[in-house]
A and B are shown apart, each in its own frame.
Chain A
Amino acid sequence: MWRDALLVLGKDVRIELRSRVALWQVLPFAVLVLVLFGFALGPGQHALRSAAPGLYWLAVLFSTVLATQRSFAIESGEGTRDGLRLSGIDPAGVFLGKAAAVALQLVAVQVVLGAGIVFLFDVHIATWWLAIVASALATVGLSAAGVLYGALSAGLRVRETLLPLLVLPIVAPVLIAASRAWSAAVVGTVASGTSWLKILGPFAAVYLAVGVALYGPLQETG
């Protein structure tokens, strides 16, 4: 399973590096979301600073949908989908490899968005480890849930419009918990921040486990 996951991860990363969809579409989109929400909130520095963690994670959430759609777009041809099913690759390995590739893109998005909220909204993080742990857990949860629902909608004609409808409500707990954890990291209230990690951790673990178990049947129906 791990060998297969690495193989799929390598393939998806190589394809992304060649196509540069993440670089030229997902990243600019995420920054645009951040800036537009900033415009909507107005020039008040205090409002922007307090809303920054929520805006940041909303932008990450929308980027998750784009990155997931792209991940399945490269398998959208009848031939490549069949090729993957005939390849002998463990479906759990496909799931983990695709989730890892999406997670890598989300990490890149978060680095850029992190710089964005520092420079645009003048946000300074007091407790870095809390922000990093929250980001890591949220990234795993978002990528696992995204790939799981991406597989569910992969074979459908309406997959582009259906995926956000499936994913966004499901990952709402990640949006809430990650935003609160980041808010706590900004002001340095570790105790309240760590309590939100108790939502992010199980969410990531559950979606990883469900994805490993169900990706095979979903691949057959998708």
Chain B
Amino acid sequence: MDRAVHLRSAVALAGRFPALSGADLDVAAGEVVAVLGPNGAGKTSLLRTCAGLLAVTSGEAVVLGCDLRTERTAVRRKVGLLGHDASLYDELTAAENVRFAVRAAGGRSERVEPALERLGLVGRLRRTPAARLSAGQRRRAALAVVLARAPALWLLDEPHAGLDSVARELVDTVVAEVADAGAAVILTSHEAERAASVADRVLVMSGGRAADERVGERRPPLTAVSGGDADVA
């Protein structure tokens, strides 16, 4: 199985401050890894490092075949990040936000509608400006942006936050689908049980590095898919 993420003793800086201090992580294509840990443990920094948003200053850091120290721009085009703040323009509708993201990535516009539908953003919701969506709907719209871009590596920062139980189930289903289609997924969470239920492996972080690792409850992928773009939309 192809390696989507390979970090070995990776040190990353957020501005002048250390965000990761010697992190080790390997994630295969089609694998779901949940990252747990208290606030400030480095979960978000791990995702931002893998997205190429934080500068890696030492150690090995390869994401989707690109060295994070020299090819951050190339990495950014290949990953999808769902951050704490939804990356939506308030004045644009959910559909326009997704369309902009897809066109910016040079993707096909046919991916827009299926992604919106998959996340339940249909009818009036797809035409509503993002500013007027509820927190949960904004979260789903932001996830639709990631889904429509069809990245090979999904980086989801607390994807269940602010969602009702139905939407949480929907997120778990989407995660399972994209992983089955060959994409690697790293998600952070404060909910150990839910994280374990969707993940193949659970990583516990502390002080900017992995402190413990457990086996998750998700079944292993049925098929091993090589590391190309996962088109699940």
Seen from chain A, the residues whose Cβ lies within 8 Å of a Cβ on chain B are 4, 7, 11, 14-15, 18-19, 74, 77-80, 82-83, 85-89
Contact = CB atoms under 8 A, between A and B. Distances in A.
Nearest to A155: B15
B51 interface: yes
Nearest to A20: B91
Nearest to B103: A7
A89 B101 CA distance: 10
A101 B182 CA distance: 40
A78 B84 contact: yes
A82 B81 contact: yes
Nearest to B87: A83
A79 B81 CA distance: 9
Counting chain B residues whose Cβ lies within 8 A of the other chain, the interface size class is 20 to 34
A18 B104 contact: no
B89 A7 contact: no
Contacts of B88: 79-80, 83
Contact of A80 (B51, B87, B104, B106): B87
Given A83-B87, A87-B76, A88-B106, 17 more contacts: A14-B92, A14-B96, A15-B89, A15-B91, A18-B92, A18-B129, A79-B83, A79-B142, A80-B88, A82-B51, A82-B53, A82-B81, A83-B88, A86-B53, A87-B105, A88-B76, A88-B77
A194 B52 CA distance: 49
Nearest to B142: A79
A166 B100 CA distance: 31
A5 to B, nearest CB: 12
Contacts, number: 67
Contacts of A4: 104
B87 A7 contact: no
Interface string B70-107: 00000011011101111111111000100011011110
A78 B105 contact: no
A165 to B, nearest CB: 23
A166 B103 CA distance: 34
A80 B76 contact: no
Contacts of A14: 91-92, 96
A7 B100 CA distance: 8
A88 B106 CA distance: 8
Contacts of B142: 79
Q: Pick from A11, A15, A87 the residue with the most CB of B within 10 Å.
A: A87
A80 to B, nearest CB: 5
Given A11-B100, A88-B104, A79 B92 contact: no
B85 A85 contact: no
A89 B89 contact: no
Q: Pick from B51, B53, B91, B129 the residue with the most CB of A within 10 Å.
A: B91
Contacts of A86: 51-53, 76-77, 79-81, 87
9 contacts: A7-B104, A11-B92, A79-B87, A80-B87, A82-B87, A86-B79, A87-B105, A88-B104, A88-B106
Given A4-B104, A86-B53, A88-B106, A74 B89 contact: yes
A83 B87 CA distance: 6
B108 to A, nearest CB: 14
A88 B105 contact: yes
A88 B149 CA distance: 11
Contacts of A85: 53, 76
- Chain A to chain B: the 7 pairs with minimum beta-carbon distance, closest first: A83-B87, A79-B85, A79-B87, A87-B104, A18-B91, A88-B77, A15-B91
